[in-house]
Amino acid sequence: MNTAVVIFPGSNRERDLCLALKRATGRDPLCVWHRDSELPSVDLIVLPGGFAYGDYLRCGAMAAHSPIMREVKARAERGTPVLGICNGFQVLTEAGLLPGALLTNRTLNFICRDVHLRVETNQTIFTCGYAAGQTIRVPVAHHDGNYTADEATLDELEDRGLVAFRYCNAAGEIDDDANVNGSAHAIAGIFNRGRTVLGLMPHPEDATDPLMGCGTDGSALFAGLVGALQ
Amino acid sequence: MNNTGTNVTPALAAEMGLTADEFARAEAILGRTPNLTELGIFSAMWSEHCSYKSSKVWLKTLPTTGPQVICGPGENAGVVDIGDGDAVVFKIESHNHPSFIEPYQGAATGVGGILRDVFTMGARPIAILDALRFGSPDHPKTRHLVAGVVAGIGGYGNCVGVPTVGGECQFHPAYNGNILVNAMCVGLARADRIFYSAAAGPGNLVIYVGAKTGRDGIHGATMASAEFGADADAKRPTVQVGDPFTEKLLIEACLELMQGNAIVAIQDMGAAGLTSSAVEMAGKGGLGIELDLDRVPVREAGMSAYEIMLSESQERMLMILAPGSAAEARRVFDKWELDFAVIGRVTETGRLVLHMRGAVAADIPVGPLVGEAPLYQRPWRPTPPQPDIDAATLPARDPRDCLSKLIACPDLASKRWVWQQYDQLVLGNTVQRPGGDAAVVRVGDGLKALALCTDSTPRYCRADPERGGAQAVAESWRNLTAVGATPLALTDNMNFGNPERPEIMGQFVGAIAGMRAACTALDYPVVSGNVSLYNETSGDGILPTPVIGGVGLLADLRRAVDLGLKRDGNALLLIGETIGHLGASLYLREIEGRETGPPPAVDLAAERRHGDFVRARIAEGDVAACHDVADGGLLVAVAEMAMAGGRGIALDPPPAAMPAHAWWFGEDQARYLVETGDPEALIAAARQAGIPVRRIGIVGGAALTLPGANAISVAQLISANEGWLPGYMAQA
């Protein structure tokens, strides 16, 4: 399986991501510079975490207008799977590939800690490695992860089953204390209508190496993608 | 201000921090009165911050060599060999004065500065640690300072994408007017690809890379070399503003250019900006540098030579390029969209010559500017010894109450609120996160790992600077050992008050003596460091605070241990001798309300013996968990292991000959707690090695049970320990 990781100036989790992708696919992903206007033929495009352009205007806003994003959008429209993690999720919302927006965490602070997520559906290429309703533990590391959208959009996400992950407690229950950043409907990640684009704030890529201190609950996301796309 | 419009007088020199003597020396070097720009350069280079004029004679007495040391103090950072052609590059640096004035930007730019010191040497930064000390929690400014400093460190480190993996955060009224923000950065390089700052090759181009020069931070180094008066807030314009995004681009661009052979020498523009970087490069190379200031990228028009030379705008680098490399450099910096300008060349004249608007703005011989910098043997007075505390004269108390109070006191309370605002994981190599004895960070994608920590016990240093200095080094060495690492070398941040007061200078001299003894006994050399003096406001000095940043090596990270209790039925053993020393202890301060008595003795031979034994047992896989016994003593250390493991323990009775509070809360040094499934074997091995060992409990249950069936639940301990800081910060 061939993957491309888009690097913006200020991306900083591409290393974590490339390690996780290599572990799952057995191949180094292609790193594509944001100024490039062409993408190689790949099975999956990933936008990594970080602070593209310093997140100075609004998280992901400037990156969404990078030359490469025209091509990412075109590919996504033709059905190439796109995964955006953390800053990558913010870029996808700014680029219009996913609805809604990510506001400042309700604590107003950056938060880096492990959280529990409930897998809402496993009927997608991204989550087929999990059981529906499974609780997983992965880290978050963000300042602006408070998902918001208008009521109509939230209704549509719920009605069509487009919520990928929700913040929950260790027992898998959705409660306000577990909603680490205050997201609407405790949303941690969403799909587009075709379920070919996933954006999520947590970092599954940082929970794929048994030697590191974050567990390996993120591995099934990458393994599932390989199984679905290969 | 410009050269022609301002009359340079001894009074103006004094305003810039030069003594009459120093001004006369500058005049003698030039053979004339300096113009304003030249005066600014002398003042910055001869400031305490840049010249180390009060501390140098003492710093030179520290051990700085060892077979593992590639580069000791004097460069941007220390370099230590970690085998396989890898090198670890690290340094700690203070940003105390700016952080008190403007906590967010002060702390943020402190992180930025130390990152630059490390990647300047050709190393990719892989970890940050921050040693923080604030005033009393009751002081009206403290909450604002904590919030600002923590947000600033996070704001910068998180954005550049370097994990913050450890540090300290403590409180004491002596820091009410002078907080301490010491940031340490650790990087990785190839041992044969280290970059240095000495200029070489007359005719080579001098290039400027990074952010534009603005009017911020002008004369910051001089500000950091004086006490605060009541006007501290008025110094806000001398604090720089950080741009972590530009720093991230600079890191990537510099490391990319360093893949080739374009760079002859490189230096970041830190304190005293373009002045110190140009002077240091020329001075180390024994050459001259000529700069055309009209070519320096500036943020606004009309900046004078004085302003350009003394600006401390952040995220700027100075490089000397190999002949024919300008196009390659331009390609890389264009890719990363960074300002790049050829601003001068290396000369054989040995002089720093600055041109601006067709005139010579400054012309100073570099040799004397560096070599004849003032050096002071300041008078010092030793700290008088403190009378002993007899534990038997202190009242008996319920150890459970004392424990609950201690683990919720500001110094021991969990700092989760702080480090959850730092990205501890980015780069994907964090093995052990903050909260343990030392952080553990993997090297590349192999099995090697580095152990990292920062330590200081200022209350010990105040009571007895020499013991305190030795203890800080020993505790650092012990913390690295406790995760299973072999300590390699350290970086020190010497934070003290006004060195012109003999009792403060005495603290400095004492601390250095203690550090020297410990570094020597433990084969733990100093490879880099920083001195921050004049940490005083209106005559009140801080506690003497020599912060030790330690780096150790784990050959196989799978052998690393942490402090959390692991398995019911395991035994907990205490390694090391307990005499129940309560002088200068946290127990005495927090429970009895007294800050008196001498600190515990530091037996360096015992430290070495006990540490080497524990490390060997960890490497053999005999140890399930390990923790050093430090602040708060034995019972606090046991509680920390219980909380980290979410598991209880039943404790054995204390020895009959000792008051219970001395046993549970004494702060004797050279002690470790180790959890093991085979206590008989470990006890036998310790006895054979002549090392004091004693079983102190059996792991199990959900409570910490003291002899006499007095239990306190682990959940209750966690709630007290985790509750204090978030509760404090939530108060309006």
- Count: domains in chain A: 1
Give the residue-averaged pLDDT of A217-228.
Answer: 97
Give the B window 553-572 contacts with A, CB below 8 Å. 557-558
Residue in B closest to A138 by C-alpha: B425
What digits encode the pLDDT tens for the residues A95-137?
999 999 999 999 999 999 999 999 999 999 999 999 999 999 9
Handedness of CA B701, B706, B710, B714 (dihedral sign): negative
- How many Cβ atoms from other residues are within 10 Å of residue B658's Cβ? 16
Say what the pLDDT of residue B1 is.
47
For residue B43, give both structure tokens. Answer: 């003042």
Contact B69, B80 (CB under 8 A): yes
Residue from the list A9, A16, A112 with its beta carbon closest to the beta carbon of B336: A9
Secondary structure of B166-180 in HEC code, one letter for each residue: EEEEEECHHHCCCCE
Alpha helices by DSSP H, listed for B33-138, are 36-45, 48-51, 56-59, 96-101, 103-119
Strands A197-200 and A82-85: parallel
Q: Cα separation of B551 and B525, whole Å?
A: 11
Q: Render pLDDT for B673-704 as a digit per residue (tens, 0 to 9).
A: 999 999 999 999 999 999 999 999 999 999 99
**Nearest CA among B256, B6, B23 for reference residue B119:** B256
Torsion sign across C-alpha atoms B173, B174, B175, B181: negative
Q: Are B323 and B203 in contact (CB under 8 A)?
A: yes
Give the torsion sign (CA, B535, B539, B540, B543): positive
Q: What secondary structure does DSSP assign to B141-169, as a single string?
A: THHHHHHHHHHHHHHHHHHHT--EEEEEE
**Coil, helix or strand at residue B548:** strand
Using a CB-CB distance cutoff of 8 angstroms, which residues of chain B are in contact with residue A213?
A: 430-433
Alpha-carbon distance B423 to nearest alpha carbon in chain A (angstroms): 5
Measured in angstroms, the CA of B534 and the nearest CA of chain A are apart by 33
Residue B726 DSSP one-character state: H
Report CA dihedral (B563, B476, B123, B66) to the nearest 10 degrees: -130
Tokens representing B382?
């030793």
pLDDT of residue B237: 59
Q: State residue B729 phi and psi, 5-degree precision.
A: -70, -25
Distance from CA of A205 to the nearest CA of B (A): 8
CA distances from B583 to B387, B595, B598 (A): 9, 8, 5
> Could A15 and B427 be called an inter-chain contact, meaning their C-beta atoms sit closer than 8 Å?
yes
Contacts of B423 in chain A (CB under 8 A): 110, 112, 141
Q: CB distance from A107 to chain B under 8 Å?
A: no
Secondary-structure breakdown of chain A: helix, strand, coil percentages, each rounded to the nearest 5: 30, 25, 45
Q: Name the percent of chain A lying above pLDDT 70.
A: 100
Beta carbons of A230 and A5 less than 8 angstroms apart: no
- In angstroms, rounded to a whole number, what is the distance separating the alpha carbons of residues B49 and B57? 15
> Quick check: A60 contacting B, CB < 8 Å?
no
Q: Which residues of B touch A145 (CB under 8 A)?
A: none
Which residue, chain included where needed, has tokens 């249950």? B701
Q: Where are the alpha helices (DSSP H) in B288-348?
A: 305-310, 326-335
Query: Other C-beta atoms within 10 Å of A105: how many?
Result: 20
Chain A neighbors of B445, CB-CB under 8 A: 19
Cβ atoms of residues B482 and B560 within 8 Å:
no
Preferred mutation among B111, B159, B417 to probe A, highest tally of A CBs within 10 A: B159
Cβ distance of B244 and A54 shorter than 8 Å: yes
Mention every residue, 6+ apart, whose C-beta is less than 8 A from residue B293: B305, B308, B309, B343, B354, B355, B356, B361
Q: Quick check: B426 and A10 CB within 8 A?
A: no
List B residues 408-437 in contact with A (Cβ-Cβ < 8 A).
Answer: 419-433
CA torsion sign, B537 to B73 to B198 to B80? negative
The pLDDT tens digits of the residues spanning A89-101 come to: 999 999 999 999 9
In chain A, which residues have their Cβ closer than 8 Å to the Cβ of B420?
Answer: 109, 111-113
- Integer Cα distance of B122 and B268 in angstroms: 12
**Residues B476-491, buried b or exposed e (16+ Cβ, 10 A)?**
bbbbbbbbbbbbbbbb
Provide, as residue numbers in chain B, all residues whose Cβ is less than 8 Å from the Cβ of A209: 428
Chain A residue at shortest CA distance from B336: A9
Phi-psi group of A27: left, alpha or beta (phi > 0 → left; psi -120 to 50 → alpha; rest → beta): beta
Find which of B251, B420, B563, B729 to mutate to test the A interface (most A CBs within 10 Å of its CB). B420
B-chain CB neighbours of A206 within 8 Å are: 425, 428
CATH number for A40: 3.40.50.880
Is the pLDDT score of A163 beyond 60? yes
In angstroms, how far is the first alpha carbon of chain B from the final one?
Answer: 43
Residue pair A213/B431 in contact by the 8 Å Cβ criterion: yes
Using 50 as the pLDDT threshold, list the residues of chain B that sit under it. Answer: 1
Pair type for strands A135-142 and A146-148: unpaired
pLDDT average, residue stretch A163-188: 97
Interface test with B, best of A212, A214, A216, A219 (most B CBs within 10 A): A212
DSSP string, B445-470: TSS-EEEEEEE--HHHHHH-HHHHHH
Using DSSP's 3-state secondary structure scheme, residue B126 falls into strand
pLDDT of residue B241: 84
**Which residue is closest to A59 within chain B, CA to CA?**
B159
Backbone CA torsion sign across B494, B93, B130, A211: negative
CA-wise closest residue to B296 among B202, B215, B198: B215
Q: Point out the residue among A50, A111, A205 whose CB comes nearest to the CB of B161.
A: A50
pTM of structure: 0.96
Cα B684 from Cα A130, distance rounded (Å) = 49
Question: What type of residue is A111?
Answer: I
Closest CA relative to residue A203, chosen from A100, A123, A88, A108? A88
Cβ partners under 8 Å of residue A227, min gap 6: A128, A129
**The dihedral sign for the CA sequence B29, B31, B37, B43:** positive
A213 pLDDT band, cuts 50/70/90, is confident
Name the DSSP letter for residue B111. H
**Dihedrals φ, ψ of B451, to 5°?**
-105, 135
Residue among B162, B126, B151, B419 nearest A12 (CA): B162
Rounded to the nearest angstrom, the minimum Cα separation between B69 and chain A is 28
Give the A:B interface size as CB pairs under 8 Å.
93
Among residues B82, B60, B84, the alpha carbon closest in space to that of B72 is found at B60
Cβ contact (<8 Å) for B245 and A49? no
Q: Does A9 touch chain B (CB under 8 A)?
A: yes
Best residue of A5, A7, A12, A55 to probe chain B, by most B CBs closer than 10 Å: A12
Q: Do B243 and A15 touch (CB under 8 A)?
A: no
Q: Across the interface, which of B426, B433, B445 has its CB nearest the CB of A12?
A: B426
First to last CA, chain A: 6
Q: In whole angstroms, give the CA distance from residue B205 to residue B342.
A: 7
Give A125's contacts (C-beta < 8 A, 6+ positions apart). A81, A195, A196, A224, A225, A228, A229
Q: Choose the catalytic residue: B95, B97, B355, B610.
A: B95
Q: Show the tokens assigned to B668.
A: 């004797």
CA distance B465 to B546: 9
One-letter identity of residue B238: T
Q: Say if residues B221 and B312 touch (Cβ distance below 8 Å).
A: yes
- pLDDT at position B274, please? 95
Contact: B426, A213; criterion CB under 8 Å: no
**Domain membership of residue A201 as a residue range:** 3-229
Does A222 touch chain B if contact means CB atoms closer than 8 Å? no
CB contact under 8 A, A49 and B426: yes
Contacts of A62 in chain B (CB under 8 A): none
Contact B426 A214 (CB under 8 A): no
The pLDDT score that the predictor gives to residue B3 is 62
Q: Which residues of B touch A15 (CB under 8 A)?
A: 427-428
The pairing of beta strand B288-292 with beta strand B339-347: antiparallel
CA dihedral of residues B279, B280, B281, B283 (deg, nearest 10)? 80
Helix ranges restricted to H, B598-667: 604-620, 633-645, 660-665
| A112 shares contact with chain B (CB less than 8 Å) | yes
- Per-residue model confidence as pLDDT tens digits over A68-78: 999 999 999 99
Q: Which residues of B touch A211 (CB under 8 A)?
A: 431, 442, 447, 557-558
